[in-house]
Structure 1
Amino acid sequence: MLTVGDKLPALKVPVQQGTAALPAGETLDLGQTNGRWKIIFYWPKDFTFVCPTEIEGYAQLKGDFADRDADLIGASTDTDFVHFAWRKSDERLEKADFPWIADNKKELAEALGIIAKDEGVAFRATFIVDPDNIIQHVTVNGLNVGRNPQETLRILDALQTDELCPCNWTQGEEVLRPAA
């Protein structure tokens, strides 16, 4: 599995976004940073039970991530048409206005090393990637346990201080300053 300090694979991946029109071959070039951070989070499958709660949780924080120069990107190993159908079927997901990687060939998930071997789908993995496309944080949950998007935001805040941040640190609190 790729981890902190590794470079994010510079793949061009298929994406689906919104419900205004059927997917038409849209892609996202993960090699491009435009000086921004990336928050990439994978869920195992569309049309399941835990996954929409995570997607909704991240969607509620999209503006907070954007305020920190971070792009929110969802992903699963489903197709763009499955993503589209799921979004159309659930108003919570329809409001999740950020790109969803349609990694049905599992190229990115395999490159990241996050495939659950027995199930053949991606683990619940979250990657925080800096503007140089270097992975700065990784968390991976099993298939049955959802994540805390607020914790992803907290970690992004800490990473962006470029300082030593103590346990449970939150934005606005003092960072550690060791005596010289």
Structure 2
Amino acid sequence: MLTVGDKLPEFTVPSQQGVDALPNGETLSHDAFSGKWKILFWWPKDFTFVCPTEILGYNELAQDFADRDAVLIGASTDTDFVHFAWRKSDERLAACNFPWLADNKQELARALGVLHKDAGVALRATFIIDPENTIQHVTVNGLDVGRNPQETLRVLDALQTDELCPCNWNQGEEVLKPAA
């Protein structure tokens, strides 16, 4: 699995956003959102139980991420048409205004190392990627356990300080200053 310090691999993957029109070949690539922090979070499958709780949790914080010059990018190994159908079936998901990668060929999931070896779907992986496309943080959960989007925001805040941040540090708190 790629980890902190690794570059986001080059990719161009089908993507889906919104519910106004059927997918029509839209893609997203590694160089999208140049100069921005990226929160790339993976879920195993659309039309499941834990996944929408995470997607909605990230969406609730979308403005907080935007305020930190970060964009949300969701991803699974489903197709863009499955993403579209899932969004159409749930008005809460339809309101999520960030792209969902449709890595149905599993190329990006495999390159990142987040493809579950037995289930053939992505693990619940979250990557915080800096504006130079270097991975700065990775967390991975198994298929049955949802993650905490608020923790992703907290870690992003810490990374953006470029300082030493102690355990449970939150934005606005003192950072560590080694004695000179």
Residue-by-residue CA offset, 1:8-64 (whole Å, 9 max, x unaligned) = 012111100000000001111213442100000000000000000000000011111
> What SS class does the counterpart of residue 101 from structure 2 fall into?
strand
Correspondences of 1:2-151 after superposition (within 5 Å): 2-151=2-151
Q: Aligned residue pairs: how many?
A: 180
Cα deviation, residue 158, structure 1: 0.2
The one-letter code matched in structure 2 to 1:131 is P
Give structure 1 regions of 4+ aligned residues with deviation exceeding 6 angstroms.
Answer: none
Stretch moving more, 8-17 or 149-158: 8-17
User: Which consecutive residues of structure 1, in runs of 5 or more, have no partner in the other structure?
Assistant: none
2:170 aligns to what? 170
Please give the alpha-carbon distance, in whole angstroms, between the structure 2 residues aligned to 1:52 and 1:33. Answer: 24
> What SS does structure 2 have at the residue aligned with 1:139?
strand
In structure 2, C-alpha distance between the alignment counterparts of 1:47 and 1:117, rounded to whole Å: 21
SS at match of 2:59: helix
- Determine the C-alpha separation between the residues in 1 that align with 2:119 and 2:74: 20
> CA–CA distance in 1 between the matches of 2:14 and 2:70?
20
**RMSD (CA atoms):** 0.7
For 1:34 and 1:133, locate their aligned partners in 2 and report how far apart those are by CA, in whole Å: 9
TM-score, length-normalised on structure 2? Answer: 0.99
For 1:18 and 1:31, how far apart are their aligned partners in 2?
21
TM-score by length of 1: 0.99
The answer to whether the 8 Å contact 1:33/1:132 transfers is no
Match of 1:14, SS state, is: strand
Structure 1 contact 44–122 (Cα < 8 Å) conserved:
yes
8 A Cα contact 1:12 1:31, kept in partner? no
